[in-house]
Amino acid sequence: MHWSEKAGWCRRLWGQVNEFDKRKIVDALYGVLSDPEAYDGFVDELAGGFDAMLAADPDGETFFAEIERHFRNAATVFARFNFAGVNQSPRQADGQPFPVLRLSAEGRILTANEAAARHLGASPGMTLDDLPLDADAFATARHMLAARRGTVPCNAFAFLPAWSHDDESRLVLMMSCAPEPGHWQLQAITIGWRADVGEQLARAFSLTNAEIDLLETIVRGRTLQDFAMARGRSIATVRTQAKSLLRKTEASSQLELVRMFSAMSLALGRTLPPPSTAESSLVPAGRGRHIEVTCWGPAGGRPVVLVHGLATGVEPPPGALASLEAHNIRLVAPWRASFSGSTASGGSHGEARRQATADLSCVLDHLSIAGATLLARDSGLLYAGHAALNLPGRVTGILSVTSNLPWRFARQLEGIAKLQRMFAYSARYFPLALPVLARGAMELVHNGKLDQLLESLFGQVPADRSAIADPQVRAALQNGFEATFRQGTKAYETDARLTALDWSADSLKGMPVPVRLLHGTLDRVTLLRDVHELAALHPLMAVETVTGAGQLLWYTHWGRVIASLSAFLDESSRAA
């Protein structure tokens, strides 16, 4: 079913809405349903809806009532059409706006969606040789076909540059193993421009600023004529610059340039800590469940349990192993239920804290840790506090970095980035919007648009912008997002809903152990003013500020994090 048919089907099923602003929100919802690129537009319309709601109905009890059914059914439609699927069935691929093909083990085209027919001239019965690939891409694809024998599943993939018959733009096709034994899938992907990769190429090949601009034009799939018109230059001048660019990079064609850029993007995007820096295992948790746990640092070091946040993962920053060794700290990082490889618990979001505390107890028992300090990140504070209140003697203290606070006042969202504000407002006033927001974020990650998501989340503060420009930091963040969404969006939605509540009673009131809040002066998600106000309500809570740090303090000021943690451990040891 084509996306326009899906939208029409949704309209007929759901009916019309009466108010203009709300109708625009629903129209934007249809857009997200059919095209991941419409995500930002949906966020904009939803933001307008919340602004109107807060002006007309500050409690938010009735404002969205008449469009609730649209969002309730959206979740059904998402599931029905497998919006987030990477390896989609032929029926699911039909409505996608990008080419998707299924190949037999011999390279014969079994299915091709409408976009594949338009851009690649593909139809069932044709072969791989009939597609508009460059010569090297043909060789790579044939090698992939020959390397896969029998019906053994594989994890191999390759990127194949191609041309579009429709508009002569460049495409990059990802060739990967399909779920069916022996079959392959070709799916067009978008290689977005990354400034850090451009800088790497500029340094490696001594490219001028003009040549970098031209490279960006080529990577984005635009023509030399487009570049000439945009810059007010003659096409002859631009062709001369293009020849210089090819000569310096030793690329034989513009397609080879795109492939070179793609390869470097993938290499930088997958930068991981050396395997020796982490030890991963699965801890039994009863009822057939298990908890994924990763550890860093010396085996006999002082135990610190990381309580992770919504989506940024558990990895310490690049180079952290040396500091953990120097301070004799053993960092233990369990994933909560439904995150990464930890088994789902089957409970509601209201039971998430109890489950997290029970799982933490299992991890401590399994590793023979009598008591430990908890190192919380972001939303992790609400889980760490609950554990401290319910595991007497097992939790000796909490150091919380860039904490998300209990929702006490609407002004807590002043200055927050739009996308984060939409998650917070939705969790608080309109939870039915959370699956759409979470699915949209997941699609950006799965479709190679992590930079767009990171810019929306962290682009407001210079220190945070610097962090997301670092390839190693971006790789760690990507790992975190992918682990969060590995089992779908439930884990993210659960955390988002809990953070939008005043969770003080079950996670902070009567706190029996010291809590230190390490917070940046430029954090726009949780203002330092609100952190100090919360600390004033709890006798054992103190604030430590980091000047010039934003929400990504974990990466930009790791030295300060580890020094504060070590000092906190020393203080707890003396107090004991």
- Which CATH number goes with the domain that contains 241? 1.10.10.10
Residue 93 belongs to some domain of the structure = no
Report the side by side order of strands in the sheet with 329-334. 279-286, 289-296, 329-334, 302-307, 372-377, 395-401, 515-520, 541-546
Angle between helices 68-81 and 20-34 (to 10 degrees): 10
Q: Do β-strands 372-377 and 395-401 pair in parallel, antiparallel, or remain unpaired?
A: parallel
Token pair 């300090």 in the structure block, residue: 373
Counting every residue written for the chain, the total comes to 576
Q: Are residues 370 and 307 in the same domain?
A: yes
3-class DSSP assignment, residue 127: strand
Q: Which of 327-331, 406-410, 469-473 has the highest mean pLDDT?
A: 327-331
* Of the residues 253, 269, 285, the one at which a domain ends: 269
* Of the residues 20, 46, 81, the one at which a domain ends: 81
pLDDT tens digits for 284-306? 888 778 899 999 999 899 999 99
Q: Are residues 514 and 551 in the same domain?
A: yes
Distance CA 171, CA 84 (A): 21
**Tally of CB atoms within 10 A around 78:** 17
Residue 92 belongs to some domain of the structure = no
Query: Which pLDDT value is given to residue 69?
Result: 73
79-105 mean pLDDT = 56
**Count of domains forming the chain:** 4
**Whether the predicted pLDDT of 56 surpasses 90:** no
pLDDT tens digits for 247-286? 887 777 776 677 667 656 554 544 433 333 578 888 888 8
**330 close to 299: Cβ distance less than 8 angstroms:** yes
* CATH code of residue 182: 3.30.450.20
**122 close to 160: Cβ distance less than 8 angstroms:** no
**Whether the predicted pLDDT of 538 surpasses 90:** yes
pLDDT tens digits for 407-421? 888 777 766 777 788
Q: Are residues 393 and 522 in the same domain?
A: yes
Domain, as residue range, for 470 = 275-417+459-575
**477 close to 451: Cβ distance less than 8 angstroms:** no
**Whether the predicted pLDDT of 399 surpasses 70:** yes
15 versus 182: which is more confidently predicted?
Answer: 182
Residue among 201, 204, 206 at smallest CA distance from 216: 201
Q: Which of 94-103, 423-432, 499-508 has the highest mean pLDDT?
A: 499-508
CA angle 168, 171, 172 (to 5 degrees): 160
**298 close to 328: Cβ distance less than 8 angstroms:** yes
**Whether the predicted pLDDT of 95 surpasses 50:** no
**Whether the predicted pLDDT of 20 surpasses 80:** no
476, two tokens: 């760690």
pLDDT tens digits for 357-394? 999 999 999 999 999 999 999 999 999 999 999 999 99
Residue 205 belongs to some domain of the structure = yes
63, two tokens: 């404002």
Distance CA 379, CA 396 (A): 19
The amino acid sitting at 231 is: R
Residue 376 belongs to some domain of the structure = yes
* Of the residues 149, 172, 189, the one at which a domain ends: 189
Residue among 389, 358, 379 at smallest CA distance from 526: 379
Residue 12 belongs to some domain of the structure = yes
Q: Are residues 179 and 233 in the same domain?
A: no
Residue 551 belongs to some domain of the structure = yes
At 43, is the pLDDT very low, low, confident or very high (cuts 50, 70, 90)? confident
Q: Are residues 183 and 199 in the same domain?
A: no
Distance in angstroms between the alpha carbons of the first and the last residue of the chain: 66
* CATH code of residue 485: 3.40.50.1820
At 478, is the pLDDT very low, low, confident or very high (cuts 50, 70, 90)? confident
Residue 571 belongs to some domain of the structure = yes
Q: Are residues 537 and 464 in the same domain?
A: yes
Query: Which pLDDT value is given to residue 114?
Result: 86
Q: How many CA atoms lie within 13 A of 13 on its CB side?
A: 16
Q: Are residues 227 and 366 in the same domain?
A: no
Q: Are residues 350 and 464 in the same domain?
A: yes
> In 15-134, where does DSSP find H-type helix?
20-34, 39-56, 68-81, 90-93, 114-120
Q: Are residues 484 and 508 in the same domain?
A: yes
The amino acid sitting at 334 is: P
Q: Are residues 201 and 111 in the same domain?
A: no
Q: Are residues 18 and 162 in the same domain?
A: no
Strands (E), 146-190: 157-163, 170-177, 184-189
Task: Output the CA torsion sign for 259, 87, 167, 234.
Answer: negative
Q: Are residues 281 and 356 in the same domain?
A: yes
**227 close to 238: Cβ distance less than 8 angstroms:** yes
**Tally of CB atoms within 10 A around 473:** 22
Residue 428 belongs to some domain of the structure = no
Distance CA 451, CA 477 (A): 10
